[in-house]
Amino acid sequence: MLAIIGAMDEEIELLLADLQAREDLKLPGVTLHRGTLDGVEVLLTRGGIGKVNAAMTTTHLLVQGATRVIFTGVAGGVHPELRVGDIVVSTDLVQHDVDVSALGYDLGTVPGEPPAWAADPELRQVAVQAARTVEGVTVMEGRVASGDQFIASPQGVARLWQSFGAACAEMEGAAVAQVCAKAGVPFVVIRSVSDTADTGAPVDYREFMPRVARHAKQVVRGMLARLSGTPGQPTDAG
């Protein structure tokens, strides 16, 4: 079963509205919505903001039988070529706020874990194909840096770019990645750029979030069409 997670209501409500044969499953700390989207059986949920919520939600999804996980949402652009509305498909993910350097570990490395978690090649490919159908935006494959911080300064952007080579900053993806990797479950993170993580980020984020959330919906619908073996079908009416 395919799981689709968004951090916030805005990120999943467009998909939830189209979910067929919907059943709600209330679990400790999260509600999962089971049903079919474009003929694919899915578990859809709003996971909440931050790495702890993301890890908890992902664990629930795996226990309920998720065998592939897509995380969709918005991010702050870090790569200098990214503009609001552009889409990042994860190559791999790091936790930029982890610092065990006093014990000799590289910045971002959780002791006992890999320095980064690689996204699934097939899900990446399908995500890129679907993202390319969104008009007027750049689709970039790159590293997603996650941390429990909203990045809103040139220094914050420079740190993520120089220390991690991150394409974008968000607050959940690497936690989803870590849990999925431990369980051997393929995953991909798709992020639409709502701001460029600099001092204007809080204003841009509020202004552009609804528009870029629609991009995320279009990418997920395009992925579902491809994963159900019906590529080329219309996937989004707007």
Kindly list the residues in this chain that would bind ligand ADE in the complex (CB under 6 A): 74-76, 150-152, 169-171, 194-195, 197, 201, 205
Q: Is 195 among the residues known to form the active site?
A: yes
User: Taking the complex as a whole, how short is the minimal distance between the CB of residue 77 and ligand ADE, in angstroms?
Assistant: 8
Indicate which residue of 9, 11, 13, 81 is catalytic: 11
Written as one string, the DSSP assignment of 141-189 is EEEEEE-SS---SHHHHHHHHHHH-EEEEESSHHHHHHHHHHHT--EEE
Task: Give the amino acid at 108.
Answer: G
Q: For 108, left (φ over 0), alpha (ψ -120 to 50), or beta?
A: left
Query: Is there a contact between 24 and 31 (Cβ–Cβ < 8 Å)?
Result: yes
The smaller minimum CB distance to ligand ADE, of residues 187 and 205, is found at 205
User: Taking the complex as a whole, how short is the minimal distance between the CB of residue 63 and ligand ADE, in angstroms?
Assistant: 27
**Pairing state between β 139-146 and 166-170:** parallel
Indicate which residue of 120, 195, 207, 236 is catalytic: 195
Q: Is 106 among the residues known to form the active site?
A: no
Of all residues in the shown chain, the one whose CB is closest to ligand ADE is 76
User: Taking the complex as a whole, how short is the minimal distance between the CB of residue 15 and ligand ADE, in angstroms?
Assistant: 19
User: Taking the complex as a whole, how short is the minimal distance between the CB of residue 78 and ligand ADE, in angstroms?
Assistant: 9
The smaller minimum CB distance to ligand ADE, of residues 2 and 134, is found at 134
Query: Is there a contact between 36 and 42 (Cβ–Cβ < 8 Å)?
Result: yes
Task: Give the amino acid at 150.
Answer: F
The smaller minimum CB distance to ligand ADE, of residues 75 and 137, is found at 75
Backbone φ and ψ of 47, nearest 5°:
-90, -15
The smaller minimum CB distance to ligand ADE, of residues 53 and 194, is found at 194
The smaller minimum CB distance to ligand ADE, of residues 90 and 235, is found at 90
Q: For 216, left (φ over 0), alpha (ψ -120 to 50), or beta?
A: alpha
Q: Which two tokens stand for residue 110?
A: 């959780």
Report, as residue numbers or ranges, the catalytic residues: 11, 195
